[in-house]
Chains A and B, each alone.
Chain A
Amino acid sequence: MDFNLTEERAMLRDMLQRFLGERYDHDARRKLIASGAAYDTDILTELAKLGILGAMFSEDDGGFGGTGFDLLVVFEELGRAGTIEPVVGSAVLAGGLLAELGNASQKTLIDEVIGGATVLALAHGEPQSRYDLSHVHTTAQADGSQIVLNGTKTHVINGAQAETLVVSARENGTKDDELGISLFLVPFAFEGVTCIDHRNVDDTSGARIVFDNVRLAESDRLGKAGNAFAALETATARATLAVCAEAVGAMEAAKALTVQYLKERKQFGVPIGKFQALQHRMVDVLIEIEQARSAVVNLAGNLEAERNIRERHVSATKNLIGRVGALVAEESIQMHGGIGMTDEYALSHLVRRLTMIDHLFGDVDHHLERFITLSAA
């Protein structure tokens, strides 16, 4: 066993940390959010130049990474800085599906993603799907040589910023079957595609996208008809790892702010960090963050394992991150007092992201139940 990062990954981490430290501090981030932009296009271009987007893909697909540990390193730093740029939705989810299922001509899009020239989005969740991956009621029906898409997708990460959508739709099977789900590449500007963009609580962007008789060709399908579930599950496992690593970065940043505050804030004539009641609670926060980091390492190391092992780690890690995320968020605010709740201060932004990560790809309860089911299998 070796818990050290390879030299390449350590360099990647240091470089990314330095870049975000210089260009993405709290003031810059607040300015960006106040501008109303969904993300900073210059930052995305710079991330591409630094190879951050390439690190999401294997060498075979034109990248230079793509493993669990690459995702871990990159997303911890993105989470520490609280970036809102479209990396997880575009490169990990939609890009990951292209890499897994796309043919050579479809995969040319991956080069554009790696270069920061385009943004993709996965349109998969639906109004009633909650956290169920196989709940796909959007339909894809053959009409001569064409395929007609109808349905509504919700909470599409960076949906309105994407130029191309990867859309899941049911070609056969009923209701919530895993079998029968296909994926299609749909240009955002296609006839019949309408989108309502919205800002999320954590300042990331989501969209509701309606597909009304969108006419596609057979060549727009990714992979085989009705056979996309396994790839969706794999891509979601990778995205879950990404947001869990992001959460660890946000936890570390929240911890740093809180420890600093405990040292600086004086009440009753002493720094409040001198009070044992607060010391012990901060120690518990530290212990739980170490547990969170270990859970993310476990998932990263099992991302290429066989399905059942991998998915048990997905649920274990997401459950633990959800619990620790809430603890860190709530305790950090409590130990700060009112100042921790202000929009002006970085902590409230970290807390919002940490909390919303629990609502992505399944929350604490969802993954607890799923872990039990997977363990019994």
Chain B
Amino acid sequence: MDLSYTQEQQEFRKEVREFLAENLPSRISEKVRLGKRLVKSDTQEWSAMLNARGWLAANWPKQYGGAEWDAVQRQIFEEETCLAHAPRLVPFGLTMLAPVLLAFGTEEQRQRFLPRILSGADWWCQGYSEPGAGSDLAALKTTAVPDGDHYVVNGQKTWTTLGQHANWIFCLVRTSADVKKQSGISFLLIDMETPGVTVRPIVLIDGQAEVNEVFFDNVRVPVENLVGEQDKGWTYAKYLLTHERTSIAGVGFSDAALATLKHVAAHTMAGGSPLDRNPHFAARMAQVEIDLMAMRTTNLRVVSAAAKGQAPGAESSMLKIKGTILRQELTSLLRRAAGPDAMPYLPEFLEGGDNTDPFGPEHAPSAAPTYFNMRKLSIFGGANEIQRTIIAKAILEL
């Protein structure tokens, strides 16, 4: 074993750091640093910069324009971009759909869709959950009925993150009804500009409409938009979810949140001394840091063990559970650190259009909304309860 970074890895970190210093606009990183809300163009602008450098698709093969980084490089990149307060990359095309197309799509589909993900021409969203199919995803009811060289899609998806910005959605649809529920599912790519697609925003607990309902009313989808074989979609769906879970672990986000928390705690006076001198608060902060130090290595161990370009198996559920617990605890500590200044709800400040005095320290207005928003981490991508069931079955064989 050797925990030290190689010369090349250290060079790579330096290169990433320099790129960030030169390219990441402070207008955008300030928003991320203060937990303000990003607009579509912020994400697009940053993605275009990374793409120009060849760094947008970290895990894709080089032949499709990817960086083809190994696990350590990916971790270094995530750490550096998070610490520099770069916007989160939208994962739906890059780290969810693309691995599925690379593994199960046709070459024609790869050539058609992958370049448009890189260029930003397409913004993808995920059509998995339905009102009656959440944790029990395979219970989904949205149907796709073959009709000549088309499928006719009817049904409803929900919790579609950033669906309001998307022009394409990858969907799990039911193509066979009278079989075991996992066996009749297909993986379909749908152009959201097709007649019959309606998107309705859902306002959440933090006041944002980050997720949507997507309705399909006799939507005609060309058969060439089917990925892999009809009725084999569940296999692809699970493959995608394993990739998704790995990125939800979010060690880099936790690193950045911890750095922010330490800064805030050092500059917040509580009972006559800085909050990081308060034994109870300091203990809780230290506990998270200790867990995070181990988590970084757990993440690397699991991701390194998987074959190149592949996602880990059931171990990804472990990363998802532990990673989301830590991220949520960090948002809870940041909320507590803000004290009474966590109370005002200042949407104008959070939207970034107003830089007036936020009634307290600059980090305070987003503290409670972010705490509430991040409750989603233990729910989406397969609730943490489902991850525990996966581990119990697949690893413990219970």
Contacts and interface: CB of A to CB of B under 8 A. Distances in A.
Contact of A201 (B211, B345, B360): B345
A127 B204 contact: no
Contact of A337 (B202, B278, B379): B379
Contact of A199 (B272, B344, B360): B344
B336 A356 contact: no
Nearest to B269: A128
Contacts of A359: 338-340, 342-343
A369 interface: yes
B59 interface: no
A369 B339 CA distance: 15
Interface stretch (A64-72, A214-222, A299-307, A326-334): A326-334
A154 interface: yes
B340 A369 contact: no
B32 interface: no
A267 B278 contact: no
Contact of A278 (B158, B341, B380, B385): B385
Nearest to A345: B205
Contact of A366 (B132, B271, B344, B385): B271
A19 interface: no
Given A131-B339, A326-B332, A355-B368, A343 B379 contact: no
Nearest to B211: A338
Interface string B136-153: 100100000000000000
Given A208-B359, A338-B376, A338-B379, A355 B272 contact: no
Contact of A334 (B134, B378, B388): B378
A311 interface: no
A334 B359 contact: no
Contact of A200 (B284, B344, B375, B385): B344
Interface string A3-20: 000000000000000000
Contact of B204 (A202, A208, A341): A341
A270 to B, nearest CB: 10
B129 A338 contact: yes
A252 interface: no
A198 B346 contact: yes
Given A351-B205, A369-B280, A176 B136 contact: no
Interface string B244-280: 0000000000000000000000001111100000111
Q: Interface size for chain A: under 10, 10 to 19, 20 to 34, or 35 or more residues?
A: 35 or more
A365 B278 contact: yes
Contacts of A278: 385
B84 interface: no
A365 B280 contact: yes
B127 interface: no
B336 A341 contact: no
Contacts of B281: 365
A130 interface: yes
Interface in B110-159: 129, 132, 134-136, 139, 158-159
A368 B283 CA distance: 13
A255 interface: no
Contact of B375 (A125, A266, A341, A343): A341
Contacts of B383: 334, 337
A154 B364 CA distance: 14
Contacts of A333: 205, 375, 379
Given A200-B343, A200-B345, A359-B340, A341 B272 contact: no
A130 B159 CA distance: 37
Contacts of A231: none
B203 interface: yes
A132 interface: yes
B204 A358 contact: no
Contact of B340 (A125, A202, A330, A337): A125
A107 interface: no
Interface string A355-377: 11011100111101100000000
A326 B368 CA distance: 13
Which residue of A338, A342, A352, A363 has the most chain B CB atoms within 10 A of its CB atom?
A: A338
A359 B345 CA distance: 13
B344 A201 contact: yes
B372 interface: yes
Given A201-B345, A365-B281, A337 B204 contact: no
A348 interface: yes
B343 A206 contact: yes
Given A155-B343, A355-B368, A365 B205 contact: no
Interface in B326-343: 328, 332, 335-336, 338-343
A125 to B, nearest CB: 6
A130 B340 contact: yes
Given A337-B383, A338-B376, A352-B372, A132 B271 contact: yes
Interface string A305-333: 00000000000000000000010001001
Interface in A118-175: 125, 127-128, 130-132, 154-155
B6 to A, nearest CB: 41
Given A334-B378, A338-B376, A365-B278, A127 B336 contact: no
A131 B336 contact: no
Contact of B372 (A155, A267, A351): A351
A176 B272 contact: yes
A343 B202 CA distance: 8
A152 B393 CA distance: 59
A341 B379 contact: yes
Contacts of A338: 129, 134, 158-159, 211, 376, 379-380
Cβ-closest 6 pairs across A and B: A267-B136, A348-B205, A343-B203, A365-B280, A201-B345, A200-B343
21 contacts: A130-B271, A131-B270, A176-B272, A199-B344, A201-B344, A268-B135, A333-B379, A334-B378, A337-B135, A341-B376, A341-B379, A343-B204, A344-B203, A348-B372, A355-B371, A356-B368, A359-B338, A359-B343, A360-B340, A363-B336, A369-B279
Given A155-B340, A333-B375, A338-B158, 9 more contacts: A131-B340, A132-B272, A206-B343, A266-B132, A334-B375, A337-B134, A341-B379, A344-B203, A369-B280
